[in-house]
């Protein structure tokens, strides 16, 4: 420990000095999700306000909140901000013209750094405090941190004592010998949020899904009210020996684990472990993840690799979407030019689940949404608005679920797909969707009458 202590003292600097390392023209990257350096970001914002930075690029993924540094440059005169997956704060910055999206499959982002498609001069990364063995643990996010570390010129860790210490199977920590500088933050609590309440429609959708989950299934759950409603139902259902292999660890997993539903015994890959690449949720979830040997974080290139996913039997992938068109294309990231999130790992798990023996991939959404003016709109649309990002192509979509039922699209022609999707659309919009299908030449008048 004496060697580690000596290195620690030599490498310890203030947040202000860490921010001062940025030179004009540098390409700066923040750790993604909870690993964003919130404390140092405040000092960088002061440099932006004082016009000390110029021609800088900042990049990250899903910043928790709003970056003070980016907000301090309201005309983008000093820095450009790029982001691979939008948080609610990033959406606000995007609407202000201050945030650009990096289209990407989550599992492929590590290659952006390996192939030098993205370069890093300075990497700022939030971690746990140093442990007794000289390691800084990445806590809630493993993702592609290793690839960023291997391809940066300067690495600065910002420690925070409220970060859970999370065990992993690979690349969940970094030794002090690889770190250039250390900043001890003010230890402000990391962001935590209770899961959104499930709506009545979410509960109906969850009830459809629970009938599709067998003993020994391996689950991937996305974020939102519906997955949490499903978790609550599963916890009371008597389903046994479930496994978890998911990109994002969410609160519903805790409820299922505590109810005894999750054992991970039947998994073929990482047997006995709840496997994930990042976690986000309530303090209850973080406490569950902290030093829990039942959980293991792995890099996204492993967790989201369809070939790895499909090695488990009976994989059930459950994700949300914004819209589906009549051909079965799925958008889960934008509506027209209004960007909302990103592709993330949805495509990865759709492909991986379908390749699994007995696997199923579900794209879930309520049949309608209500706009700010109180007008109701269908989420099943004839075609997407210009600029809408396609997250899952029609060739990949298996099941689409609304509160009106489940549409299975594999093996179906265009008119059979349209019929199946219209059958689970809200009744108020079905006639208009039929007219559009006829106009697109994907409707057959010999079809049986719609329910």
Q: Give the pLDDT of the chain (451 residues) as one tens digit per residue.
A: 567 889 999 999 999 999 999 999 999 999 999 999 999 999 999 999 999 999 999 999 999 999 999 999 999 999 999 999 999 999 999 999 999 999 999 999 999 999 999 999 999 999 999 999 999 999 999 999 999 999 999 999 999 999 999 999 999 999 999 999 999 999 999 999 998 888 999 999 999 999 999 999 999 998 777 887 888 888 888 899 999 999 999 999 998 999 999 999 999 999 999 999 999 999 999 999 999 999 999 999 999 999 999 999 999 999 999 999 999 999 999 998 999 899 999 999 999 999 999 999 999 999 999 999 999 999 999 999 999 999 999 999 999 999 999 999 999 999 999 999 999 999 999 999 999 999 999 987 655 555 4
- Listed in sequence order, the residues at least 6 apart from 276 whose beta carbon sits closer than 8 Å to its beta carbon are 244, 246, 247, 248, 249, 295, 296, 297, 298, 303
Task: Summarize the chain as % helix, strand, coil (round to 5).
Answer: 30, 25, 45
* 247 is annotated as an active-site residue: yes
Distance CA 96, CA 87 (A): 14
pTM above 0.85, yes or no: yes
Under DSSP, is residue 59 helix (H, G, I), strand (E, B) or coil?
strand
Q: Compute, in degrees rounded to 10, the torsion defined by CA atoms 101, 107, 109, 110.
A: 170
Which domains does the chain possess?
2-184 (3.40.1080.10), 200-439 (3.40.1080.20)
Q: How many C-beta neighbours within 10 Å does residue 26 have?
A: 19
Under DSSP, is residue 174 helix (H, G, I), strand (E, B) or coil?
strand
Which is the catalytic residue, given 247, 333, 403, 419? 247
Report the chain's C-alpha Rg in angstroms: 23
What are the CA-CA distances from residue 274 to residues 202, 229, 260, 265, 383 (Å)?
25, 20, 13, 10, 38
CB 80 within 8 A of CB 58: yes
pLDDT at 232: 82
């Amino acid at each position: 420990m004496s060697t580690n202590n000596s290195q620690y003292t030599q490498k310890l600097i203030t947040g202000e000095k860490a921010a001062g390392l940025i030179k004009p023209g540098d390409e700066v990257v923040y750790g993604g999700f909870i690993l964003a350096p919130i404390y140092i970001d405040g000092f960088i914002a002061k440099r932006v306000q004082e016009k000390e930075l110029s021609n800088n690029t900042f990049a990250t993924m899903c910043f928790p909140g709003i970056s003070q540094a980016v907000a301090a440059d309201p005309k983008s005169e000093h820095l450009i901000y790029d982001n691979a997956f939008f948080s609610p704060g990033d959406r606000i910055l995007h609407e202000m013209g201050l945030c650009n999206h990096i289209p990407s499959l989550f599992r492929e982002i590590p290659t952006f750094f390996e192939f030098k498609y993205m370069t890093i001069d300075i990497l700022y990364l939030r971690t746990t405090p140093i442990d007794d063995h000289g390691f800084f643990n990445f806590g809630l996010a493993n993702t592609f941190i290793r690839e960023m570390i291997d391809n940066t010129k300067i690495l600065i860790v910002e420690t925070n004592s409220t970060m859970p210490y999370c065990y992993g199977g690979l690349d969940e920590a970094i030794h002090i010998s690889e770190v250039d500088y250390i900043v001890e933050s003010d230890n402000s609590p990391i962001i935590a949020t209770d899961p959104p309440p499930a709506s009545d429609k979410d509960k109906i959708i969850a009830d459809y899904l629970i009938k599709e989950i067998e003993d020994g299934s391996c689950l991937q759950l996305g974020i939102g009210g519906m997955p949490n409603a499903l978790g609550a139902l599963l916890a009371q259902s008597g389903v046994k020996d479930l496994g978890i292999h998911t990109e994002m660890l969410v609160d519903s997993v805790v409820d299922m684990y505590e109810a005894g539903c999750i054992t991970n015994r039947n998994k073929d890959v990482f047997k006995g472990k709840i496997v994930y690449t990042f976690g986000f949720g309530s303090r209850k979830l973080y406490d569950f993840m902290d030093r829990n040997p039942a959980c293991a974080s792995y890099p996204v290139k492993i967790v989201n690799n369809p070939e790895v996913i499909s090695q488990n039997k009976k994989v059930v992938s459950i994700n949300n979407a914004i819209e589906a068109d009549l051909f079965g294309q799925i958008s889960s990231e934008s509506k027209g030019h209004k960007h909302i999130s990103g592709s993330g790992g949805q495509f990865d798990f759709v492909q991986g689940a379908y390749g699994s023996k007995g696997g199923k991939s579900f794209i879930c959404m309520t049949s309608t949404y209500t706009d700010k003016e109180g007008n109701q709109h269908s989420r099943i649309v004839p075609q997407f608005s210009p600029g809408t990002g396609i997250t899952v192509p029609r060739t990949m979509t298996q099941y689409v679920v609304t509160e009106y039922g489940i549409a299975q699209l594999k093996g179906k022609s265009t008119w059979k797909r349209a019929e199946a999707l219209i059958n689970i659309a809200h009744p108020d919009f079905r006639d208009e969707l039929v007219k559009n299908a006829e106009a697109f030449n994907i409707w057959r008048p010999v079809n049986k009458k719609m329910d």
